[in-house]
Amino acid sequence: MPAVVVVGMQFGDESKGAVVDYLAEWADLVVRYNGGSNAGHTVVANGEKYKLHLMPSSVVRGKRGVLGAGVAFDPEVFLEELRDLKSRGRNIDVLVSLKAALLLPYHKELDSAISGGRLGTTKRGIGPAYQDKMARVTGLKVADLFSPRFPQRLKEVLEIKENELRNAGILTGDVEEYYLKLLAKAEEWRNSLSAFIGDDHLEVNEAIAEGKFVVFEGAQGTMLDVDHGTYPFVTSSNPVAGGACTGAGVSPLAIDFVVGVMKAYTTRVGKGPFPTELSGDIADYIRDRGGEYGTTTGRPRRVGWLDLPMLRYSAMINGIGYLAIRKLDVLSGLDRVKVAVAYEIDGEEVRIAPPYVDELEKAKPIYEELEGWKVNDWNEFVKGGWSSLPEEVKNYVSFIEREVEAKAILIGVGPDREMTIPTPHLREIIPL
């Protein structure tokens, strides 16, 4: 069985959780390789909604999951999700990497005080945690939490960060008192987490060597990648497919396929360039029908027409051969659907999106219009399968396949797990 990376092709929120959940029916292992609780992966199964932030999307099916070394691990969020899932009758089987960056309460407070408003972050502490990881002297990992030297390491870190915490208004009293409070929390975390920690690199590589079906789950999207996205309006990690190798400790040669997840239109949360952004009645129509409000923040998402230059860039960066196209049902009812096939930038036609803010802010979309579709009840098409879909929908999908040079394997026409329609190409990844 293959090793498959599932990656977002746009600005995140592409419904990767639903795609991973669908593939998890056959998966032996699902590995989150980047990001942290800033992710919002929603899975709807049997009418019940699960909003996951840190847990791999496989947990809804009770499948084995891994939080890899590339994850910013927040013990409080993990334990909160664990309690919620268990209360709903879910058996959680997850391994947390000893190498994952440890996110502490002050990271969230720093995020809110410093960067949240300027960059439109989720204020979950992800940026400050990764900042400390890269600084090394102030970075702590999950392994440190379980080390006898943790009290000393934490004290050393706070000595370095004291001025930063005071300047941000986070530390107002005695640093020793603050230190002891963190130490007490750490003791609680150790007791609750000891059954979950381990070596992600051994678990994942052994599964691949044994021929098991391994799914790598990325958080956020390609255009939010810290190196390849619209910097500085990006996340602090690598959502791209290559991030699966560094974030889980596997060779690029171990990856068999990359599946790009995209919406039938485009959305973005927070600040940053958005060439196909809409306003007015059509924007409201798409936002309301698509429930375009952040899973983590609840913020209304910006919406726009599908952006093919962005998808071509994403396909190139990630090596995407297969597509999962979500939320085709949201566009139902529109007489015509626009698609940006290129940009005009400084009088020149550009077919692959430049990932630079200055260039994208000048980009004027060049649109083509396709025939819309009007479907009130998608259930008959779910039962009938790919061949039964309206010709306008199949033409839209085929148009995307040709332009992006990738094959669609899954079509989403509703939030529920059951509203995903496989295409014949799915057999190229999973022997059905």
* Active-site residue list: 13, 41
DSSP state for residue 429 in the 8-state scheme: T
Residue entry with tokens 């999951």: 65
Rounded CA-CA distance 429/110 in Å is 43
Q: Judging by DSSP bridges, how do beta strands 322-326 and 407-412 pair with one another?
A: parallel
Of 15, 20, 18, 1, the C-alpha closest to 244 is 20
Q: For residues 98 and 38, what is the distance between their CA atoms, to the nearest angstrom?
A: 20
User: Which amino acid does the sequence have at 21?
Assistant: D
- Cα-flanking dihedrals φ and ψ of residue 226, to 5°? -65, -25
Q: Tell me 88's DSSP state.
A: T
| Angle, alpha carbons 267-269-271 (nearest 5°) | 115
Q: Is the peptide bond before 252 cis (omega within 30 degrees of 0)?
A: no
SS3 at position 136: coil
Cα–Cα distance between 325 and 308 in angstroms, integer? 13
- Measured CA distances, 311 to 105, 277, 332 (Å): 36, 15, 22
Calculate the CA 232 to chain-centre distance: 18
Query: Of 1, 233, 273, nearest to 121 (Cα)?
Result: 233
Phi, psi (rounded to 5 degrees) for 15: 80, 40
How far apart, in Å, are the Cα atoms of 410 and each of 10, 256, 263, 284, 371? 17, 18, 12, 26, 21
Is residue 348 within 8 A of residue 257, CB to CB? The reply is no
Contact 286, 330 (CB under 8 A): yes
